[in-house]
Structure 1
């Protein structure tokens, strides 16, 4: 399975973000990519791995303690019409609450992933 990782893309008040993902046509495939990611040293110690995917069987999302993050990722995947692909936003909590800025960071991470991995048009 091909996992792409973009690490250190956002830093705010001590929290750090990365975004990862790859092709996944089922929940089992998504779980395998998540396991591959969390097997990496520093990713193993991350506070949250929020993710979403849209499979033929329907959409799946997981907040992993970052309430609402999975839904936001899912909405962005729906808008991008990205199917059979999992996108994971990882956060290392820095000790300060980010409030609504955490949603801005999750969205920016997903935008980064889409910009780096989707074919360019035009």
Structure 2
């Protein structure tokens, strides 16, 4: 698993992005569990994720409405299959409105660029 931490900060909210290869829901769940073994990620407000596993699109907003769908859309555009991408947010106390979607998209773009998968 690759983790890019402290990549975006806005009005107190902080973001990280991580991911790795996963060919099944069980492998995706294992990656999320591995990430959450780090206390910092376990205490995050949201760990939104998405993947295309064996041709099946799966996502979880983890309370950040619409984030999973946005991550999934970006993975579909990139043609990235059998790989899970997780965007983590620590809520900073102020609503971000639509900016939160921009931050999720920026986090996924950074992940795809830095891993050479996009």
Name the TM-score class by shorter chain: over 0.9
Separation in structure 2 between the aligned mates of residue 28 and residue 90 of structure 1, nearest angstrom: 20
Residue 102 of structure 1 is matched in structure 2 by 100
Separation in structure 1 between the aligned mates of residue 54 and residue 27 of structure 2, nearest angstrom: 13
Q: Is the 8 A contact 2:55 2:81 kept in 1?
A: no
Secondary structure at the counterpart of residue 62 of structure 2: coil
Separation in structure 2 between the aligned mates of residue 51 and residue 41 of structure 1, nearest angstrom: 18
Unmatched tracts of structure 1, length 5 or more? none
Q: TM-score, normalised by structure 2?
A: 0.97
Consecutive aligned runs of 4 or more in structure 1 exceeding 4 Å deviation? none
RMSD of aligned residue pairs (Cα, Å): 1.1
Residue 26 of structure 2 is matched in structure 1 by 28
Q: TM-score, normalised by structure 1?
A: 0.94
Count of aligned positions:
118
